[in-house]
Structure 1
């Protein structure tokens, strides 16, 4: 066995032991084999985009499963590198399974089942390339690719000999014997989650230039990237949904899976979002809780916001029962508003942390930020609030490498999924808009007004619209929509139309939305105009829709 194999074996072992199973988001005691959980997530190869599609090419373009699946050509994972493809861009909306896709690849490779033409596969998650895990060095020395790969792809620190071999393999001494280097595939996961860190930019540029590469991202801010092919992960097929639901419930719960499938098929709106893996898991988790099936099946309009709201309620009930010793029978007598009120203190703190981290484009919740927000609420006993932060179940502590510590106050944190951070950031905005006397009220309005076309915040604004539709405050709703429809405005039109469509869709049938009927009429005309003239259509005038 050569030095290369001695180095690659620990990577294979790390992948097999660490990533061979997938934990459920809200019940981490239960997990599944990556083989079972993956269930053939469909990956499709994009056709040449027409000018109309280019105008709409963003996360907002994905409205229904059928639209995506019906216009693309399926491609098997095993065929990704056919036709001499070397560099692949894989796009997918929030929660669609991009990280699961990467996890599946590294585990299948480590088990000798996939991509054996590569001697090694290195999985780098961009959310972890930040100034928290990689702070700026005092001497301005640059981080090397070797340091990052050692931190991200090995369970333990390497010996000096191991580091030398790794450095050689990564090509930092490529000039010597470039032709003898083994072929390495680099998985760069979450381009949309990349933080802006000047001292890491050279390192990131080096990663982006790797010859054999798969880059995953939400479908925005990728137009300037040059790749051999573009793929899209579209989520579950109809058959996948049936298999997933049947596998989710144990063998002694066949009625639950049957009842849930019947309900899903009877509700096109919820069946549509059920093709998104993370959403389907949340639906199953809530439905599977004893005596909580009505939490999903009640109501006529099911949106992503209602699904996340119900799962937060479910997590709060579990938290109150498990960590606050509340009697389950007593909790069952309480409605959603009472449960949320009982947990409002910690939920508001989580919202503030989520929003302020997103403002800084940070997915890692810096311990300084967390400590500051905790002390605002509990200046003398932040540790008690920190326990609540972790026990609710949407935030986890991050420990890495030699920085590991048992002291929670010394750790950084992260949300179990980016979409939960976006949901809580939206919850923060709603809370701020309800109180014009708060110092941050004007700042929140300006944020909505000037960041509304920033694709990083698209789901935040979508959630905000959904939450406001269930809020009694008319003034709060009107303030949000006034900010959304005020200048600056998209001069051409498509980006603004996308945003309004997403927000109206999430608001359901809320007729309180200012000029709702006029917006729907305007959207219909715009779509008709775009369909009739995909190249030269002019934007429709929106003077009549300007806020008063």
Structure 2
């Protein structure tokens, strides 16, 4: 925090420039934009020079140096993720100030633009770290407020990724709505037999680190396996594609139950998520059930069980 305070003028310049560039959809930051930002925030050439020395912002060509000459050049952030992160810091600063209306308008206008998704994801995490309750509520109320995208898939993706960035804490506004939104889309994808949609949802979830490990999510996945008989194999494939690192016991029990299904295709498919969870589910109970499956009459089931045991590694021994 001491470093941030010491570099506040330089960071303010970088944040404002990044935000203005993202708003106008510019990765190459023209000299006119640079000079406009400096004028609007009262940034001196010395602050600009110090910001340049941080190494995150570069001038576009390798001509002569010197502050005045550099100011006549176009600039760029060394990686787009830096521009997105600094733009998010600026958005958070707007939300915490009397200019929050500008931030609200920005979110309402741009929240479903794919190119700005990381800005909102970064902002959701930064806001939680700030512990500024009013700003956090303003952000989430605006995300859930009008306007909504016509289909709804972009809204689900945005909410899921932003919610995951908060570490899915109980104090996050709209927490239950965020989880329900994802689960409703999962159910819808299977009701419609829409494999492309199932794949899209799995990709969104796998961009996360926390949400797929929430008990609420895994318990609902377990329920899906018992409720949707006609979609079992696709549900098992979907679960297997998720990066689950902390399997819930109800989900595990539901997967093991499928190893006793009458349909050999279901028994074989049940091995897929267990294989992907690997050593994390290599308990005596799971191993014993897979060993039984090695004696299955169906070749595919025996092969899947053998492969799964192999992926569980040394714990099997």
TM range (shorter): 0.5 to 0.7
1:383 is aligned to 45
SS state of the match for residue 130, structure 2?
coil
- Of 434, 455, 462, the residue aligned with 2:121 is 462
Higher relative contact order at CA 8 Å, sep ≥6: structure 1 or structure 2? 1
Rounded Cα–Cα distance in structure 2 between residues aligned with 1:470 and 1:481? 15
Matching of residue 448 in structure 1 with residue 107 in structure 2: yes
2:15 is aligned to 351
1:525 is aligned to 184
Question: Where do 1:26-425 residues align within 5 Å?
Answer: 337-378=1-42, 382-399=44-61, 404-406=63-65, 407-425=69-87
Number of residue pairs the alignment of both structures matches: 193
Paired residues of 1:445 and 1:480 also in contact (CA < 8 A) = yes
Rounded Cα–Cα distance in structure 2 between residues aligned with 1:343 and 1:366? 24
SS state of the match for residue 388, structure 1?
helix
Following TM superposition, by how much is the alpha carbon of 1:423 offset from its aligned partner in structure 2, in angstroms? 0.6
1:295 is aligned to none
SS state of the match for residue 492, structure 1?
coil
2:135 is aligned to 476
SS state of the match for residue 365, structure 1?
coil
Rounded Cα–Cα distance in structure 2 between residues aligned with 1:377 and 1:495? 34
Following TM superposition, by how much is the alpha carbon of 1:352 offset from its aligned partner in structure 2, in angstroms? 0.5
Following TM superposition, by how much is the alpha carbon of 1:411 offset from its aligned partner in structure 2, in angstroms? 1.4
Rounded Cα–Cα distance in structure 1 between residues aligned with 2:104 and 2:39? 26
Rounded Cα–Cα distance in structure 1 between residues aligned with 2:170 and 2:15? 27
| 5+ residue gaps, structure 1 | 1-336, 538-548
Rounded Cα–Cα distance in structure 2 between residues aligned with 1:505 and 1:471? 16
2:193 is aligned to 534
Deviation larger for 455-464 or 368-377: 368-377
- Of 133, 137, 144, the residue aligned with 1:485 is 144
More helix by share: 2
SS state of the match for residue 83, structure 2?
helix
Following TM superposition, by how much is the alpha carbon of 1:487 offset from its aligned partner in structure 2, in angstroms? 1.1
Rounded Cα–Cα distance in structure 1 between residues aligned with 2:95 and 2:80? 23
The C-alpha deviation readout for 1:220-266, integer Å capped at 9, x for no partner, is xxxxxxxxxxxxxxxxxxxxxxxxxxxxxxxxxxxxxxxxxxxxxxx
Rounded Cα–Cα distance in structure 2 between residues aligned with 1:371 and 1:353? 10
Following TM superposition, by how much is the alpha carbon of 1:378 offset from its aligned partner in structure 2, in angstroms? 4.1
Rounded Cα–Cα distance in structure 2 between residues aligned with 1:518 and 1:359? 28
Following TM superposition, by how much is the alpha carbon of 1:372 offset from its aligned partner in structure 2, in angstroms? 2.7
Distance 1:376 1:483, change over 3 A: same
1:495 is aligned to 154
SS state of the match for residue 410, structure 1?
coil
Rounded Cα–Cα distance in structure 2 between residues aligned with 1:452 and 1:366? 25
SS state of the match for residue 339, structure 1?
helix
Rounded Cα–Cα distance in structure 2 between residues aligned with 1:490 and 1:420? 27
Rounded Cα–Cα distance in structure 1 between residues aligned with 2:2 and 2:168? 25
Following TM superposition, by how much is the alpha carbon of 1:497 offset from its aligned partner in structure 2, in angstroms? 0.7
| 5+ residue gaps, structure 2 | 198-317
Rounded Cα–Cα distance in structure 1 between residues aligned with 2:110 and 2:40? 27
Rounded Cα–Cα distance in structure 2 between residues aligned with 1:456 and 1:518? 25
TM-score (norm 2): 0.57
Following TM superposition, by how much is the alpha carbon of 1:519 offset from its aligned partner in structure 2, in angstroms? 2.1
- Of 174, 180, 188, the residue aligned with 1:515 is 174
SS state of the match for residue 193, structure 2?
coil
Rounded Cα–Cα distance in structure 2 between residues aligned with 1:376 and 1:526? 44
Paired residues of 2:18 and 2:87 also in contact (CA < 8 A) = yes
Rounded Cα–Cα distance in structure 1 between residues aligned with 2:115 and 2:177? 28
SS state of the match for residue 364, structure 1?
coil
TM-score (norm 1): 0.34
Paired residues of 1:396 and 1:414 also in contact (CA < 8 A) = yes
1:434 is aligned to 96
Paired residues of 1:378 and 1:385 also in contact (CA < 8 A) = no
